């Protein structure tokens, strides 16, 4: 069977595959729905306009069969008469033809919508493959089309027989009616019979529409491998993307490490956290975080700071708070202004002592004012409503 290869296609078609199929001119279509819509419009038009249309056409026919001497012997006058009669016929049929044409253009919107694809006009030599043609002949879709054809034949044939038999007396009675009355009556009978038989096709159309949508979706299903391959083509290979992200992180880390030699101080935990701060003279705003890291990154920050004689200060709570609540190039939080101010004051005093501007070695700051809720290791940061002092029942 031609569809045997679809057994492993279990994934629904992606939007990319649907767009590509539409671009190639492959969209769901139901000939039964379109045919039913057009024929029903024609039948309804005949039902509503049939009497007047037959009367107008009968009048044109009657005029066409009566010729005067001038029309017989003057071809120019005859052609003018014929042209007028043809125009009258076209004008009489115009409303019905316009309605049918409008529905014919709108019918594709019911299933699949309008679509124009230049690729559909290109020759496809694959369709000339006899093996593929034989496969299509014994496919499930071919079987469905055969069943539809048989069903339409039986259904329309049965309805036509019923219509003919139910209107037998009326058709025979037309012979006894005057022509002026019989013509509209005949048009009414034909329109009624036409609508009844077309209505029978509606049952086929109701079943065929959903089937064509299902068949189209099933035809475009994808295997798991196709989904993975398309994802790689659309979003990039995950391994390559991971490598790119790794390179980006390494580049960002190198840029961060390049800022450490210019820092004023590196606040440490002392081993697990390290945060480098910078506050230049004349700088507006608060001090900024120029580098931060944990474990191996923190060790590298401390190593670079020692190599470039940047002050290292052990302040575990402050280091943890800065790491938790800031990103690279962020200003420090307002809640840490006082603690960082004491640190920078110590750094400036230490520089003055190193230059010999003062004989007094500065005291290392202790018990920096870090709010308990800023320290991620402090229980108060996990339960802000709880008092930082566990001994206080309030």
Contact (CB, 8 A) for 356 and 364: no
Q: Tell me the pLDDT band of 130, cut-offs 50, 70 and 90.
A: low
* CA pair distance 60, 84, nearest whole angstrom: 9
The pLDDT, as a whole number, for residue 380 is 61
Task: Print burial letters for 225-240: b (CB count within 10 Å at least 16), e (below 16).
Answer: ebbeeeeeeeeeeeee
The pLDDT, as a whole number, for residue 136 is 59
The pLDDT > 90 percentage for the chain reads 0
User: Does residue 388 carry a pLDDT above 50?
Assistant: no
User: Does residue 241 carry a pLDDT above 80?
Assistant: no
Higher per-residue confidence, 303 vs 234 = 303
Contact (CB, 8 A) for 139 and 2: yes
Convert the pLDDT of each residue in 290-349 to its tens digit: 888 888 888 888 899 888 888 888 888 888 888 888 888 888 888 888 888 888 888 888
* CA pair distance 190, 227, nearest whole angstrom: 55
* CA pair distance 70, 44, nearest whole angstrom: 42
387 phi and psi, to 5 degrees? -65, 140
For 253, the token pair is: 């880390």
pTM > 0.85: no
* CA pair distance 336, 340, nearest whole angstrom: 6
pLDDT averaged over the chain? 78
DSSP lists the bridge partners of residue 292 as 275
Contact (CB, 8 A) for 155 and 200: yes
User: Does residue 124 carry a pLDDT above 70?
Assistant: no
Q: Tell me the pLDDT band of 215, cut-offs 50, 70 and 90.
A: confident
Q: Tell me the pLDDT band of 7, cut-offs 50, 70 and 90.
A: very low
Residue 40: partners with Cβ closer than 8 Å, 6 or more residues away: 195, 198, 199, 202
Q: What is the dihedral of CA 174, 177, 182, 186, to 10 degrees?
A: -20
For 15, the token pair is: 């939007």
Convert the pLDDT of each residue in 156-167 to its tens digit: 888 888 888 888
* CA pair distance 162, 36, nearest whole angstrom: 20
Contact (CB, 8 A) for 185 and 19: no
93 phi and psi, to 5 degrees? -85, -10
The pLDDT, as a whole number, for residue 24 is 78
Higher per-residue confidence, 342 vs 391 = 342
Tell me which residue has tokens 């992180």: 249
The pLDDT, as a whole number, for residue 117 is 64
Contact (CB, 8 A) for 95 and 52: no
User: Does residue 123 carry a pLDDT above 70?
Assistant: no
**Cα 71 versus chain centre, distance:** 67
275's enclosing H/E stretch is: strand 273-278
Q: How many C-beta atoms lie closer than 10 Å to residue 157's C-beta? A: 12
**Of 53, 39, 59, 92, which is closest to residue 188 (Cα–Cα)?**
53
**Of 103, 88, 107, 110, which is closest to residue 42 (Cα–Cα)?**
103
* Least confidently predicted of 110-114, 216-220, 343-347: 110-114
Q: Tell me the pLDDT band of 72, cut-offs 50, 70 and 90.
A: low
């Amino acid at each position: 069977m031609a569809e045997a290869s679809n057994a492993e296609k279990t994934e629904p078609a992606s939007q990319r595959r649907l767009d590509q199929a539409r671009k190639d001119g492959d969209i769901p279509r139901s000939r039964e729905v379109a045919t039913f819509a057009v024929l029903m419009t024609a039948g309804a038009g005949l039902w509503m306009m049939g009497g007047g249309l037959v009367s107008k056409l009968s009048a044109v026919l009657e005029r066409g069969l009566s010729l005067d001497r001038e029309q017989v012997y003057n071809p120019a006058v005859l052609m003018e008469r014929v042209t007028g009669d043809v125009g009258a016929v076209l004008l009489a049929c115009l409303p019905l033809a316009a309605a049918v044409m409008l529905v014919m253009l709108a019918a594709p919107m019911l299933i699949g919508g309008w679509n124009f694809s230049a690729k559909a006009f290109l020759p496809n030599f694959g369709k000339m493959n006899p093996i593929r043609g034989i496969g299509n002949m014994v496919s499930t879709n071919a079987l469905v089309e055969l069943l539809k054809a048989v069903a339409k034949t039986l259904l329309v044939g049965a309805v036509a027989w019923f219509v003919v038999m139910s209107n037998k007396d009326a058709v025979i009675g037309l012979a006894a009616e005057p022509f002026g009355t019989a013509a509209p009556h005949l048009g009414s009978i034909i329109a009624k019979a036409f609508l009844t038989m077309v209505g029978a096709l509606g049952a086929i159309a109701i079943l065929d529409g959903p089937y064509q949508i299902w068949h189209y979706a099933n035809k475009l299903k994808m295997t798991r491998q196709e989904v993975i391959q398309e994802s790689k083509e659309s979003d990039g290979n995950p391994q390559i993307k991971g490598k790119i992200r790794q390179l980006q992180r390494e580049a960002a880390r190198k840029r961060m490490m390049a800022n450490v030699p210019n820092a004023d101080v590196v606040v440490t935990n002392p081993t697990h956290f390290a945060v480098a701060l910078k506050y230049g003279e004349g700088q507006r705003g608060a001090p900024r975080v120029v580098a931060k890291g944990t474990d191996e990154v923190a060790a590298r920050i401390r190593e670079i700071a020692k190599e470039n004689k940047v002050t290292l200060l052990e302040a575990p709570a402050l280091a943890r708070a800065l790491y938790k609540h800031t990103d690279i190039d962020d200003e420090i939080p307002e809640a840490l202004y006082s603690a960082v101010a004491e640190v920078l004051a110590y750094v400036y005093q230490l520089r003055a002592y190193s230059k010999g501007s003062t004989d007094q070695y500065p005291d290392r700051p202790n018990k920096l004012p870090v709010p308990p809720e800023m320290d991620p290791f402090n229980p108060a940061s996990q339960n802000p409503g709880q008092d930082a002092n566990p001994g206080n029942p309030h």
